[in-house]
Every structure is written in structure tokens, then in C-alpha cells.
Structure 1
């Protein structure tokens, strides 16, 4: 298996189809998968928070490059990744797989209304999968009753739209109780799935301008997006250090 190191985070070098197959093959072999979909913001957070970096390194089974900045950074480091694999696209592939195989999916995260709308769309578009349970994202990780409810539902897939680092800490907390489940942090994907937030047009996705579309639609994201130039600056410094 090919791994690509980008500022200390080990990314799996698969395209979307290969990544999906890795997850489903692992499931068929009786192996669970803790999936981290990491963008430059997560990479930089991991650099600044050793406990979070350790969690990804020690507990995650697969890490996807969810951000064109990661792909560009890998290329600058001379270790190119095949393509960007977004959490949203991977989530849709897994929902299709769950539908075809009548698997159980637990949806946790986002506001209750958003969660409800996302699940309603799933039930419409993927009628053969089983909704094992739902919960909004407004809970404390110390609330054992929430964790117990997810485990009791015995899902095949857990989609955690809690934002980092909460979603990864949540998955780590239940991983031992659901050793065969596919568990993935999906950030704001329920907002898109529910229709609350529109995804960029395909041509903008293909041109790697999805970040710009989101910034125009949500100017308040500017502060968060400023991490990208900082990320690229650190990558350049790393390249220079290697020389």
C-alpha cells in the first residue's frame, strides 16, 4: 500500500474508485475502517496538536486527501497523490454500496433539522439501505449515553458530521466496540446532502475552485481558508529543508 507523507500526515495514494474498493474489501474481509478525510486545515491542526496527530497515526486505517491543497502540497514535495478524494464523494459511494448490500448506516452530526433532511434524502435516493439511527451533533463526548446508543444500533457504517477534531475523537471512542464497522468523519457533508448548502458546479469542482465557490457563498469562511497559504508556506519550507 502506497502512503504519501504530507507534513506528518500519512495519506493513502488511491483515486476515488480505489479508495472505495479498499473500504468495501476490508469490510468484506471482516475488517473495520476508521477513515480520516484530511484537508490542509486538518494537517495544520495535527501539526499544532500532537495528541490529534497521534490519534490519526495510531488509530486511522485510511486517510484521504480531502482538499486540492493537499494534492498540490504532495506534488511540491515530490510525492504526488493520484487525485483529491473528498469526504462527500466517498460518502456517496459508500451510501450506494450500503444501498446495494442493504447495510445499516448511522447518521450523527449537524443540527437536528439538517440531520433530518439529510436522512430524508438518503431514504429517498437509497431506499434499500437501513437507517440504523440518527443523532444531532450537539452533545458532549463525555455523554456516554450517545456513544452507547450508536454502538447498540450495530451499524455497518457510521457517518460522523461533527467537524474535526470532535468527529475523530468520537470515532476513536467507539472504534473498539464496533470493530467491523466503516466509520468516517464527514465534516459539513450533511449540509450538502440535505440541500442546506449547495455544492459548487461540476466545472468549478473540476477546476479545483470549489473553495472559491464556498467562500463567495459563505464569506465568514475567510478566516478558516487563510490556513491554505500558511499550509503551502510550510510545505515550501519543508522542500527547502530537504535540499
Structure 2
């Protein structure tokens, strides 16, 4: 009897250790969001391969307002959104985008009878920004036009201080997502040459964070302009809480005469 008890206890211990090892070796469960809303997939949301995120193409593409079809002649998954047409083939790194061929670092593959493709490439091809939150294990896809008609940007200068005002003009709260500690940037250009950039020489933390702006409220970013030679300049403001931070959200003319500036 004692031998049987020891045998059962031993088997339970082996099973516990096996389950513990299995749990430790399981990849973390991540979630894919579009505009902060989770999308439903019939298979695991994505897999990581060679530093790339692969996701099932259909639910992601459809959540980004694209259509997905099968092209028998070329054995391709075709993703279409307005004038953008992307053709993926399983186990083929070459992807056709319109008339161009793009060589991906990782080829699409079939997982549980579903086609998985590089998530960032798919999202950016369909006009979305990819935001990764490693702490929450969430990937948020933000269409580049999701703030259209919801935000009003104002840019003005007073006493060499530049102010960017971002106002929520929609009836709903808006969440801005940031990839680093940098909220915004400003540049002065003259004759299409950048003569000053606010962020030059500054260090920013690499952390993902967000800020929710209530209806009717404003988000304010300020910076000091340096002394510059007399002349006509263009002042550009960039806001990093919107999906396309490389695109200025507001631009004004900036005239400097005898050390006095006039926007």
C-alpha cells in the first residue's frame, strides 16, 4: 500500500513538473487591437519568428477596412484597400504591392490552415501605425486617418516661445499613443533647409505610454525658439501622439527682423 502511495505521489510530481516546464516554455499570450479595440481570431493571434510578428492576414486586414480574397491562378492571398493591392504567397518572401516586388525578411506561412504574414508590413501597407506595448503584451494598430475630424491643431509663437495646442473637438475621449518620452518636435526651415530642430541633442526614454484627452480639452506642448538670423522661416510642428509623427500637423510662416520675430 505504501509503495502504491509513493508511486502515485511520484507520478503526480512528474506531471506537475512537466506542466510547469510546459507553461514556462509557452510563448506569452499577446493581443492585437485596432484603435484600442481587440480583434477576434480563430487561431492564436500571432507568432514571433526571427524578430518579426506574424499574424493571421484575414482578421487583421478586415479590421483595417481591407478585403481579402484568394487568387487561384497565382496561388496568392490578395489584400485590397482602395488603390492598394498586396499579394502574399506562403513560403515566399517576395510580396507584390501594386507593380512593385518587396523582399520581406520573413516569408508568410500557413499555421492551422490560416495564412500568417508579417504584421508590421501588412499594417503599414494598409495605412496603419503599429504600437507595441511589451508590458501589457498588446499590439495596437492605429489607422493613419483615425484622428481626422476629431482634433484641431493650433501653432503660435509669442516672445520666442512656440506653443502647439491639440484640442479634442469630438464628442468622445481620444487616446494618444506614444512610443517614447518625446511628445512633439519643432523645426525651423529656410529655403527648404532645416536650420533648427528642437529635439537635436536631446535624449528620450524608450517607453510606450498613452494620454486620454476628454472632449473640449486641449493638450499643450511648448518649446523655446533659439536666436536666428533675420529672414523668412517656416515653423513646423510634429505631434508624436498621432499615427504619422513624420508629417507636420501644423505649419506657419515665421519672420525674423532685427532679432524680433513675427509669425
What TM bracket, shorter-length normalisation?
under 0.3
More strand by share: 2
More helix by share: 1
The structure with more radius of gyration: 2
Q: Normalized against structure 1, the TM-score is what? A: 0.24
Greater RCO between the two (CA within 8 Å, min separation 6)? 1
